[in-house]
């Protein structure tokens, strides 16, 4: 088992305005302009680059995503984890960790809630 830590937001730098923090969330993902969405995806890949470097998975894998949220508020965890899953699997493919992110290489994905961590909301990703 290999463990990775994923953020639940990315920050896009701006030239004239304050940097923009964007939550990785399906509601936001579907409403963003496609160019901004692409910037978010690239920023996410850059954040995950150091963790994913050097990993090559040659056998089919199973991935478990565990969400540690920032408060006790009720949330739809799949809104967050579906976008994290997409960006993470795309990053693994683009960085050469897996050949493709189709069901020949990723057999299963699981979503779990890990609890509340006000100081460090995140998604822990386990690859088996």
Which residues have C-beta within 8 Å of that of residue 121, sequence separation ≥ 6? 8, 68, 69, 70
Helical segments of the chain, H only: 26-31, 34-52, 77-94
Beta bridge partners of 106: 61
Stretch 55-69: mean pLDDT: 97
Longest dimension (CA), the chain: 46
| Cα distance between residue 128 and residue 114, in whole Å | 18
pLDDT tens readout for residues 64-121: 999 999 999 999 999 999 999 999 999 999 999 999 999 999 999 999 999 999 999 9
- For residue 60, give the DSSP letter: -
Q: Which fold has domain 2-127?
A: 60s Ribosomal Protein L30; Chain: A; (3.30.1330)
pLDDT tens readout for residues 1-42: 999 999 999 999 998 889 999 999 999 999 999 999 999 999
Beta bridge partners of 12: 20
| Domain ranges (residues) in the chain | 2-127
Q: Which pLDDT score, from 0 to 100, does residue 84 have?
A: 98
> pLDDT grade, residue 53 (50/70/90)?
very high
Q: Which pLDDT score, from 0 to 100, does residue 33 have?
A: 96
């Amino acid at each position: 088992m290999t463990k990775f830590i994923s953020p639940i937001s990315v920050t896009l730098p701006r030239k004239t305005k304050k940097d923009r923090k964007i939550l990785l969330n399906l509601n936001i993902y579907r409403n963003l302009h496609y160019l901004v969405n692409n910037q978010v995806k690239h920023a996410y890949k850059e954040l995950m680059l150091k963790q994913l470097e050097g990993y090559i998975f040659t056998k089919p894998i199973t991935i478990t995503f565990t969400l540690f949220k920032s408060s006790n508020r009720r949330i739809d965890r799949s809104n967050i984890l579906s976008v994290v899953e997409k960006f993470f699997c795309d990053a693994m493919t683009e960085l050469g960790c897996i050949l493709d992110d189709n069901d020949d290489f990723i057999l299963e994905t699981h979503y779990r809630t890990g609890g509340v961590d006000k100081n460090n909301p995140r998604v822990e990703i386990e690859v088996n």
